[in-house]
Structure 1
Amino acid sequence: MKLIKNKRGQGLIEYLILVAFMAIACIGVVRAINHTVNSKFQEVDYALRGTRKTVEKEEIDSNLSRKRDLSNFMNGVGKTNGQTNN
């Protein structure tokens, strides 16, 4: 088996993978707290204007953070518009 001795780009690739994982994590966090932050900014805006409007706050659905798998992937296939899965 021939070994590859050129490892000049290995460090760069490792850093790129690390940065990609960090970017994915940041996007996930921003999506998770987006509604909460928006409602807080609206409350601050209403307070600065002197109005007494209440901001509707969306509750975080616990189903979004539940572990999922493909065990029920095909359930419900073909059952739209009165069709059945035969």
Structure 2
Amino acid sequence: MLETKELVALRDEINEAIKTSRRLDRCHQQFLTRRKDGITRARQTSYAAQSASLAASLKAEVNGVKQTACTVLNLVRG
């Protein structure tokens, strides 16, 4: 039987992954919008660092969601 606490934890992890995904989307959108004003080395470097950091964070969060889902739903991860 699924525990409410486990399902709430899974929901919270999914929500965090969604928030990070939205932050990454905003990062890309802002870079494309600001690019119209001209690309500077600083702007490009900041974008690259921020997008790489958010992508790594998103990957870790998605892996956490997978792990929690497998645990909560008693799935075999292959």
Q: Shorter chain as normaliser: what TM range? A: 0.3 to 0.5
Q: What is the TM-score of this pair, normalised by structure 1? A: 0.37
The structure showing larger relative contact order (alpha-carbon pairs under 8 Å, at least 6 residues apart) is 2
Tell me which protein shows more helix as a share of its residues. 2
